[in-house]
Protein backbone atom coordinates (compact mmCIF):
# COMPACT_ATOMS: atom_id res chain seq x y z
CA UNK A 1 0.00 0.00 0.00
CA UNK A 2 2.75 2.45 0.96
CA UNK A 3 4.66 1.57 -2.18
CA UNK A 4 1.55 2.26 -4.28
CA UNK A 5 1.10 5.66 -2.62
CA UNK A 6 4.73 6.52 -3.27
CA UNK A 7 4.35 5.60 -6.93
CA UNK A 8 1.28 7.81 -7.19
CA UNK A 9 3.19 10.67 -5.59
CA UNK A 10 6.12 10.23 -7.96
CA UNK A 11 3.77 10.11 -10.93
CA UNK A 12 2.01 13.30 -9.83
CA UNK A 13 5.35 15.06 -9.37
CA UNK A 14 6.54 14.02 -12.83
CA UNK A 15 3.30 15.21 -14.41
CA UNK A 16 3.60 18.55 -12.63
CA UNK A 17 7.18 18.95 -13.79
CA UNK A 18 6.22 18.16 -17.38
CA UNK A 19 3.41 20.71 -17.25
CA UNK A 20 5.54 23.51 -15.83
CA UNK A 21 8.69 23.06 -17.90
CA UNK A 22 7.71 25.01 -21.04
CA UNK A 23 6.53 28.24 -19.34
CA UNK A 24 4.51 29.73 -16.52
CA UNK A 25 2.15 31.32 -19.02
CA UNK A 26 -0.85 31.42 -16.71
CA UNK A 27 0.72 34.08 -14.48
CA UNK A 28 0.49 37.82 -15.30
CA UNK A 29 4.28 38.10 -15.49
CA UNK A 30 6.70 35.18 -15.42
CA UNK A 31 10.32 35.75 -14.43
CA UNK A 32 13.33 34.59 -16.42
CA UNK A 33 16.87 34.78 -15.04
CA UNK A 34 20.05 35.66 -16.98
CA UNK A 35 20.35 32.06 -18.17
CA UNK A 36 16.71 32.22 -19.35
CA UNK A 37 15.44 29.80 -16.71
CA UNK A 38 11.97 30.19 -15.19
CA UNK A 39 11.92 31.98 -11.81
CA UNK A 40 9.31 33.95 -9.90
CA UNK A 41 8.66 37.43 -11.27
CA UNK A 42 9.55 38.83 -7.83
CA UNK A 43 12.82 36.88 -7.67
CA UNK A 44 15.85 39.24 -7.53
CA UNK A 45 17.39 37.16 -10.33
CA UNK A 46 14.45 37.78 -12.68
CA UNK A 47 16.15 39.81 -15.40
CA UNK A 48 13.32 39.36 -17.89
CA UNK A 49 9.54 39.41 -17.33
CA UNK A 50 7.29 37.50 -19.73
CA UNK A 51 3.74 38.70 -20.45
CA UNK A 52 1.83 35.70 -21.80
CA UNK A 53 -1.21 37.82 -22.74
CA UNK A 54 0.72 39.76 -25.38
CA UNK A 55 3.53 37.18 -25.84
CA UNK A 56 6.21 39.76 -25.12
CA UNK A 57 9.12 39.97 -22.70
CA UNK A 58 9.91 43.08 -20.69
CA UNK A 59 13.42 43.96 -19.63
CA UNK A 60 13.28 44.44 -15.87
CA UNK A 61 15.86 47.25 -16.00
CA UNK A 62 14.40 50.63 -16.85
CA UNK A 63 15.65 54.20 -17.08
CA UNK A 64 13.47 55.23 -14.17
CA UNK A 65 16.42 56.87 -12.43
CA UNK A 66 17.87 58.37 -15.63
CA UNK A 67 15.82 60.24 -18.20
CA UNK A 68 16.76 60.68 -21.85
CA UNK A 69 15.64 62.02 -25.22
CA UNK A 70 13.57 59.97 -27.66
CA UNK A 71 16.59 59.15 -29.86
CA UNK A 72 18.70 58.08 -26.88
CA UNK A 73 15.81 56.00 -25.56
CA UNK A 74 15.58 54.16 -28.89
CA UNK A 75 19.31 53.44 -28.79
CA UNK A 76 19.13 52.26 -25.16
CA UNK A 77 16.14 49.98 -25.80
CA UNK A 78 17.64 48.37 -28.90
CA UNK A 79 20.88 47.29 -27.21
CA UNK A 80 21.99 43.67 -26.97
CA UNK A 81 20.71 42.56 -23.57
CA UNK A 82 22.10 39.26 -22.29
CA UNK A 83 23.05 38.21 -25.83
CA UNK A 84 19.51 38.91 -27.08
CA UNK A 85 18.63 41.35 -29.83
CA UNK A 86 15.24 42.55 -31.06
CA UNK A 87 14.53 44.85 -28.11
CA UNK A 88 12.55 48.04 -28.74
CA UNK A 89 10.47 50.70 -27.03
CA UNK A 90 6.88 49.63 -26.18
CA UNK A 91 4.32 50.16 -28.91
CA UNK A 92 1.86 53.04 -28.81
CA UNK A 93 -1.02 50.90 -30.03
CA UNK A 94 -3.27 51.31 -33.03
CA UNK A 95 -5.46 54.02 -31.51
CA UNK A 96 -4.35 57.40 -30.23
CA UNK A 97 -6.83 60.00 -29.03
CA UNK A 98 -5.49 62.72 -26.68
CA UNK A 99 -9.07 63.82 -25.98
CA UNK A 100 -9.83 60.62 -24.06
CA UNK A 101 -8.65 60.14 -20.49
CA UNK A 102 -7.32 57.59 -19.71
CA UNK A 103 -5.90 56.27 -22.97
CA UNK A 104 -8.38 54.98 -25.52
CA UNK A 105 -9.92 51.75 -24.21
CA UNK A 106 -6.77 51.14 -22.14
CA UNK A 107 -4.79 51.71 -25.32
CA UNK A 108 -5.85 49.28 -28.02
CA UNK A 109 -2.75 47.25 -28.83
CA UNK A 110 -0.65 49.38 -26.49
CA UNK A 111 1.92 47.28 -24.63
CA UNK A 112 2.48 50.01 -22.04
CA UNK A 113 -1.24 50.50 -21.28
CA UNK A 114 -1.72 46.74 -20.99
CA UNK A 115 1.12 46.58 -18.47
CA UNK A 116 -0.31 49.54 -16.53
CA UNK A 117 -3.97 48.49 -16.33
CA UNK A 118 -4.15 44.74 -16.84
CA UNK A 119 -0.86 43.43 -15.44
CA UNK A 120 0.09 45.83 -12.66
CA UNK A 121 -3.53 46.75 -11.88
CA UNK A 122 -2.79 50.48 -11.68
CA UNK A 123 -5.50 53.12 -11.86
CA UNK A 124 -5.25 56.91 -12.35
CA UNK A 125 -7.10 59.45 -10.21
CA UNK A 126 -9.79 59.94 -12.86
CA UNK A 127 -11.72 57.35 -14.81
CA UNK A 128 -12.45 57.39 -18.55
CA UNK A 129 -15.24 59.94 -18.09
CA UNK A 130 -13.16 62.21 -15.84
CA UNK A 131 -14.77 61.09 -12.57
CA UNK A 132 -12.54 60.80 -9.47
CA UNK A 133 -11.54 57.27 -8.47
CA UNK A 134 -9.13 55.57 -6.09
CA UNK A 135 -5.55 55.95 -7.28
CA UNK A 136 -3.60 52.68 -7.49
CA UNK A 137 0.19 52.83 -7.76
CA UNK A 138 1.79 49.42 -8.09
CA UNK A 139 5.21 48.92 -9.67
CA UNK A 140 5.06 45.13 -9.24
CA UNK A 141 8.35 43.41 -10.09
CA UNK A 142 9.65 46.67 -11.58
CA UNK A 143 9.87 48.21 -8.12
CA UNK A 144 13.67 47.90 -7.86
CA UNK A 145 16.38 50.49 -7.94
CA UNK A 146 15.26 51.85 -11.31
CA UNK A 147 11.54 51.59 -10.61
CA UNK A 148 8.84 52.40 -13.12
CA UNK A 149 9.43 55.77 -14.81
CA UNK A 150 6.70 58.37 -14.40
CA UNK A 151 6.54 58.56 -18.19
CA UNK A 152 8.14 56.48 -20.95
CA UNK A 153 8.75 56.94 -24.65
CA UNK A 154 6.74 54.79 -27.07
CA UNK A 155 7.91 53.45 -30.42
CA UNK A 156 6.60 54.53 -33.77
CA UNK A 157 6.30 57.72 -35.78
CA UNK A 158 4.14 60.64 -34.73
CA UNK A 159 1.12 61.04 -36.99
CA UNK A 160 1.47 64.76 -37.68
CA UNK A 161 4.79 66.15 -36.35
CA UNK A 162 8.17 64.57 -37.09
CA UNK A 163 9.74 66.46 -34.18
CA UNK A 164 7.32 64.86 -31.71
CA UNK A 165 6.93 61.33 -30.35
CA UNK A 166 4.33 59.49 -28.30
CA UNK A 167 4.74 58.56 -24.65
CA UNK A 168 2.80 56.82 -21.90
CA UNK A 169 2.29 58.20 -18.40
CA UNK A 170 2.61 55.70 -15.54
CA UNK A 171 1.37 58.46 -13.26
CA UNK A 172 -1.89 59.29 -15.05
CA UNK A 173 -2.39 56.17 -17.18
CA UNK A 174 -2.74 58.11 -20.43
CA UNK A 175 -1.13 58.36 -23.82
CA UNK A 176 0.84 61.56 -24.24
CA UNK A 177 3.07 63.27 -26.76
CA UNK A 178 5.96 65.68 -26.65
CA UNK A 179 9.07 66.93 -28.46
CA UNK A 180 11.72 64.27 -29.05
CA UNK A 181 14.21 66.49 -27.25
CA UNK A 182 12.26 66.07 -24.00
CA UNK A 183 13.76 64.09 -21.12
CA UNK A 184 11.69 61.15 -19.82
CA UNK A 185 12.23 57.48 -18.97
CA UNK A 186 12.24 54.35 -21.09
CA UNK A 187 11.45 50.64 -20.91
CA UNK A 188 12.49 47.90 -23.33
CA UNK A 189 10.34 45.05 -24.63
CA UNK A 190 10.92 42.11 -26.97
CA UNK A 191 8.55 39.86 -28.91
CA UNK A 192 8.16 36.29 -27.64
CA UNK A 193 9.48 34.47 -24.59
CA UNK A 194 13.17 34.10 -23.72
CA UNK A 195 12.59 30.93 -21.65
CA UNK A 196 15.25 28.32 -22.37
CA UNK A 197 13.83 25.35 -24.28
CA UNK A 198 14.38 22.15 -22.28
CA UNK A 199 16.82 19.68 -23.80
CA UNK A 200 15.27 16.62 -25.51
CA UNK A 201 16.95 14.47 -22.86
CA UNK A 202 14.85 16.20 -20.20
CA UNK A 203 11.59 15.27 -21.88
CA UNK A 204 12.87 11.73 -22.50
CA UNK A 205 13.68 11.37 -18.80
CA UNK A 206 10.22 12.58 -17.79
CA UNK A 207 8.44 10.30 -20.25
CA UNK A 208 10.60 7.37 -19.19
CA UNK A 209 9.78 8.02 -15.54
CA UNK A 210 6.07 8.21 -16.26
CA UNK A 211 6.24 4.97 -18.24
CA UNK A 212 8.07 3.22 -15.42
CA UNK A 213 5.48 4.35 -12.88
CA UNK A 214 2.66 3.06 -15.11
CA UNK A 215 4.39 -0.28 -15.69
CA UNK A 216 4.98 -0.92 -11.99
CA UNK A 217 1.43 0.10 -11.11
CA UNK A 218 0.04 -2.28 -13.76
CA UNK A 219 2.10 -5.19 -12.44
CA UNK A 220 0.89 -4.55 -8.90
CA UNK A 221 -2.72 -4.75 -10.08
Q: 149-206, pLDDT tens digit by residue?
A: 999 999 988 888 999 999 998 888 877 889 999 999 999 999 999 998 654 444 445 5
In a domain, 17, yes or no: no
CATH number, position 118:
3.10.100
Residue 16 lies in a domain: no
Q: Is residue 36 part of a domain?
A: yes
One DSSP character per residue, the chain reads -HHHHHHHHHHHHHHHHHHHSS--TTSSSEEE-TT--EE-TTSTT--EEEETTTTEEEEEEE-TTS-B-HHHHHHHHTS-BTTB---BPPP--S---TTSSSSGGGTTT-HHHIIIIIIS--B-SB-TTS-B---B---GGG-SSS---SEEE--S--SS-TTEEEEEETTT--EEEEETT--BB-EEEEES--PPPPPHHHHHHHHHHHHHHHHHHHHH-
The pLDDT value recorded for residue 198 is: 56
Residue 156 belongs to some domain of the structure: yes
**Per-residue pLDDT at 215:** 58
The pTM assigned to this predicted structure is 0.74
Residue 88 lies in a domain: yes
Tally of structural domains, the chain: 1
In a domain, 112, yes or no: yes
- Establish if 5 belongs to a structural domain: no
The boundaries of the domain holding residue 36 are 30-193
**220 domain-assigned:** no
Amino acid sequence: MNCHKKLNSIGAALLLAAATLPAMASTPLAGRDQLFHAVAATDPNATYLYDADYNITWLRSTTGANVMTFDLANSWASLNWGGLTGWHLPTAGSVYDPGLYPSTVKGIGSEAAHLYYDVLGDQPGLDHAGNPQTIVRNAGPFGGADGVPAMIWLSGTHATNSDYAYAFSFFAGINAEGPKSGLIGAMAVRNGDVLAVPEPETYAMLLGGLGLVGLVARKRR
